[in-house]
Structure 1
Amino acid sequence: MTTSEEQSEVRAGVHVFRDDALGDHDAVGLADAIRRREVGAAEAARDAAARVRAAESRLHAVQVHLDAPAYGGDGALSGVPTFVKDNTDYLGLPTGHGSAAFAPRAARRHAPFTRQFLSTGVTVLGKTRLPEFGFSPSTEYEDADPVRNPWHTDHSAGGSSGGSAALVAAGAVPIAHANDGGGSIRIPAACCGLVGLKPTRGRVVANAQGRQLPIDLVTDGVLTRSVRDSAAFLAAGERHWRNPKLPPVGLVEGPSARRLRIGLLVDSPNGVTSDADTREAVTETARRLNGLGHTVEPVSLSIDPHFTDDFLTYWGLLSFLIGVTGRTLGTDFDRRRMDGLSRGLREMYVRSWRTTPTVLRRLKRTRETYAAGFRGLDVILSPVLAHTTPPLGHLSPAVPYVTLIERLLNYVAFTPVNNVVGTPSLALPSTTTTASGLPVGVMLSGRPGAERTLLELAFELEADRPFRRLRDV
């Protein structure tokens, strides 16, 4: 292949859709085909593994493969091949958290969420890569290949669930595990043209670490190519365990007849201005929603002016705690081998730890200002990110910490509020693309427990203008 041909292939992207057992199916479609015995679960796993091998040399999305597929058994998504993110324990596989600071050991049991995920019937093929401890919105490393965006391999696939997003967008698997502590489901969904729902805090089984923290930021979920796959996962997971403190979601199968009042937020409440492509994506989505009969009006969401610094301080606390307790991950853990972003966050926190009580008080009060911003509204429409998907290297942990943090804060300016408040938030593709063909995501956010409303609205947008896939470009 000549250099010009290689460059053309990069611009065209990387996809592995083909005429095999997976075909063009999303997860629901594949599960239906397996249930009707048009294809077998073993056949689907075999063909998915072949797709993963075809994509992996260019995307670098997989951390570890299982020696043999692990079939989940009966469930709404029975036989659908998938991956688990490598910050979540899967029996017999090492959990590396994307870090070079220790040698991971094999997990002795499934994490609680892994059991819930398996209850849907999925077939696990292995684990996907993430940036160190999920701190970065781009899956990059100091001394290893980054995860590449299948739409344009010179660009980031997002983070921290970047490995999962790359595999789903490329067509290797229709659905993959993700989790979100500051945007880590929604950011890679936006970067890779996917649907990414961060559920309400407590909607799915909580991880043990989060329950021990003063604010549990992290919620598990999935990345998908269709709204119905995200809805099917949530309904299937609810059959395994449902939080009695939240209204049930059930299976959402399409739009609602109810017309909504939707707040439009174009620029971040912390003062970051969105770039031109992002503004176009959100305003065009607002025009479509108006055309569908909803009422869309500009809204201002007032948050404490200290919110960004407070969230960063809390992120630093998490890095500090990892540095202190790292030997529970591996006896050879050495915090000096943590990457530049993790070290910088920890060192920042050490300088400011005395502010922790004040920071926690202010962060916990965010739920009050968020609720006030929702008065009279059903949903808020906003960007996922303040600017479009950056090239690889822009957010590398090798970038000097001061520069890197400035870049991060000017990029991740919308998603963290939902993690602090614990509210549901859903990223989905817009009709806008960048000059190089990259997707641009938009975000729907709701009140606590409002997943059904968000999914119904997302169904309506998807039906109005079906999402682009790589194979269609």
Structure 2
Amino acid sequence: MDPFVSLDATAQAELVRSGEVTPLELVDAAIARIERCNPKLNAVVQTQFDTARARAKAPLPQGPFTGVPFLLKDLLAAQEGYPLSFGSRFTKDFSPNHDSELVKRHLRAGLVVLGKTNTPELGLLPTTEGALHGPCRNPWDVTRSPGGSSGGAAAAVASGMVPFAHASDGGGSIRIPASSCGLFGLKPSRGRNPTGPELTDSVHWLVGEHALTRTVRDSATLLDATEGPDLGAPYIAPPKTRPYSMEVGAPPGRLRIGLTLRNAVGAPIHPECLAAVAATARLLEGLGHSVLEGSLQIPGDEELGQHFMTAWAASVVNSIEGLGRRMRRTPEPEHFEPFTWALYQFGLSQGLTAYLHAQAEVLRFGRAFARRFEDVDVWLLPTVTEPAPTLGTFAAPPDEPLAPLFRSAAFTPYCPMANMAGNPAMSVPLHWSPEGLPVGVQFIARFGDEATLFRLAAQLESAHPWTHRRPSVFG
């Protein structure tokens, strides 16, 4: 029996602080869980078990999570001397010569890194089925996707391998797998967590890094440990008024919650996603909040998807060519999956003027989006338009390599707006389908207002607990 698998990171850290267990005991138990579960799920694609055991035996920094096992996403999370493949054959041998600032803060918090998690190539799709590492499977149904691009992180946490794991979100990549795997996933405000020293590319302002967790308090405490600008940060989020861990359990007050089901691409919504939002609205009203239907529609947002994809494709060009320069390697079609190469070619075809226009339109949207919070504290909306899809749903036909782009837009039309505006957003696991598939609901708050989201999430977690729900592979 594993005495730690059901404990969140906060509880595991308390056992270490009290002297009841050692970091090595936690690490060895997590390694055993990875070795047992990972062959079924393919969530962890690179291990650092010897290094982790050595770190666990040595004196660790005294932080909020001293001795707790952790996994990093194989994207953005640079570690000196360790591979960072970005899920691509082009970069499979790339090893950074430094730690990213966020990883440094993870280590200062006392975490023990056990390895890297699966991600699609360059983190581009809302599923995790890359050619380099193969498909990652959803712990709730191994025929289905865990979501993406932080699918490996979600599968690892949902299956109990580790209590939480690093994740990143440029268009929903924390919230999508949180919904698909029954986890709590918060994307912080733009500039809340550091992205240095290297992430300053053409869509730097879209990307937020944080974690996938089983409990709200783990997410809040980890963000306390990592938030704040790094040296030279181009964006800085408003300072928090007190530790986020103090928001967990604090009364959220009577919130004005806007509810919307409309999406800019007109995608149909699965009945279970509608049921999840409706049940959540009833729960919120029972907790004393005001829930009113409204619209997040911004004039001209019918073209917003095109602007987002123009900016996103430009970032693919920048990423591929930037990595090529660092590795002194010329990108060729055979180095990439067909979808990635087609998106790269599309980005090349757009030109500088198109990119600058798209960026201006996205930033214009952000200003208009802020006005949607003048009479509303938080917006409630679906995270995705359907429960976890089957593996292969986002495959690219040989004659239509960009097809996954349009399928993705229909699956996750609700997530990118928080990236474009920079607002904090979260997916909360409040609903399961009759087939046993988790379905998350999304909340978006004002820019810089993670505190309200943590207070609300903790209230929902108390009123409608979810951590007792576990897939059969758990532990």
The answer to whether TM tops 0.5 is yes
Of stretches 83-92 and 392-401 in structure 1, the one that deviates more from structure 2 is: 392-401
Residue 385 and residue 85 in structure 1: after superposition, are their counterparts in 2 closer, same or farther (change >3 A)?
Answer: same
Superposed displacement of residue 27, structure 1: 0.6
Give the corresponding residue for 1:345.
343
Q: Which runs of 5+ in 2 are unaligned?
A: none
Deviation digits for residues 250-305 of structure 1 (CA, Å, limit 9, x no counterpart): 12231415110000012324432322110110111011000100000011012322
Q: Secondary structure at the match of 2:455?
A: helix
Give the corresponding residue for 1:196.
185
Q: Secondary structure at the match of 1:246?
A: coil
Q: Secondary structure at the match of 1:401?
A: coil
1:174 and 1:149 map into 2 onto residues whose CA distance is 16
Matches within 5 A, 1:25-40: 25-40=7-22
From 54, 67, 70, give the equivalent of 1:82: 70
- Give aligned pairs, total: 454
Q: Which runs of 5+ in 1 are unaligned?
A: 1-18
Of stretches 297-306 and 214-223 in structure 1, the one that deviates more from structure 2 is: 214-223
Give the corresponding residue for 1:247.
240
Residue 214 and residue 225 in structure 1: after superposition, are their counterparts in 2 closer, same or farther (change >3 A)?
Answer: closer
Superposed displacement of residue 392, structure 1: 0.2
Give the corresponding residue for 2:87.
98
Conserved 8 A contact 1:119-1:237 = no
Superposed displacement of residue 232, structure 1: 1.2
Conserved 8 A contact 1:195-1:428 = yes
Give the corresponding residue for 1:136.
125
Q: Secondary structure at the match of 1:410?
A: helix
Conserved 8 A contact 2:237-2:448 = no
Give the corresponding residue for 2:253.
258
Residue 28 and residue 322 in structure 1: after superposition, are their counterparts in 2 closer, same or farther (change >3 A)?
Answer: same
Conserved 8 A contact 1:138-1:396 = no
Give the corresponding residue for 1:307.
304
Give the corresponding residue for 1:276.
271
> 2:144 is aligned with what amino acid?
H
> 1:110 is aligned with what amino acid?
D
Residue 332 and residue 436 in structure 1: after superposition, are their counterparts in 2 closer, same or farther (change >3 A)?
Answer: farther
Give the corresponding residue for 2:368.
369
Of stretches 235-244 and 162-171 in structure 1, the one that deviates more from structure 2 is: 235-244
1:104 and 1:316 map into 2 onto residues whose CA distance is 24
2:207 and 2:229 map into 1 onto residues whose CA distance is 20
Superposed displacement of residue 398, structure 1: 6.0
1:199 and 1:276 map into 2 onto residues whose CA distance is 29
Matches within 5 A, 1:323-338: 323-332=320-329, 334-336=331-333, 337-338=335-336
1:68 maps to 2:69: no
Conserved 8 A contact 2:188-2:425 = yes
Deviation digits for residues 183-238 of structure 1 (CA, Å, limit 9, x no counterpart): 11111111100001100111111234443436521111011001111111112224
Conserved 8 A contact 1:274-1:387 = yes
> 1:56 is aligned with what amino acid?
N
Of stretches 200-209 and 422-431 in structure 1, the one that deviates more from structure 2 is: 200-209
Give the corresponding residue for 1:121.
110
Give the corresponding residue for 1:409.
409
Give the corresponding residue for 1:12.
none
Conserved 8 A contact 1:386-1:410 = yes
Q: Secondary structure at the match of 1:278?
A: helix
1:293 and 1:214 map into 2 onto residues whose CA distance is 39
Give the corresponding residue for 2:29.
47
Give the corresponding residue for 2:151.
162
Task: Note the aligned Cα RMSD (angstroms).
Answer: 2.1
Superposed displacement of residue 162, structure 1: 0.8
Superposed displacement of residue 29, structure 1: 0.8
1:245 and 1:239 map into 2 onto residues whose CA distance is 9
> 1:41 is aligned with what amino acid?
P
> 1:359 is aligned with what amino acid?
A
Conserved 8 A contact 2:45-2:133 = no
Conserved 8 A contact 1:268-1:274 = no
Conserved 8 A contact 1:301-1:369 = no
1:117 and 1:130 map into 2 onto residues whose CA distance is 20
Give the corresponding residue for 1:453.
452
2:133 and 2:411 map into 1 onto residues whose CA distance is 23
Matches within 5 A, 1:276-295: 276-295=271-290
1:265 and 1:210 map into 2 onto residues whose CA distance is 33
Give the corresponding residue for 1:175.
164
From 207, 213, 233, give the equivalent of 2:222: 233
Superposed displacement of residue 419, structure 1: 0.8
TM-score, normalised via structure 2 length: 0.91
1:380 maps to 2:373: no
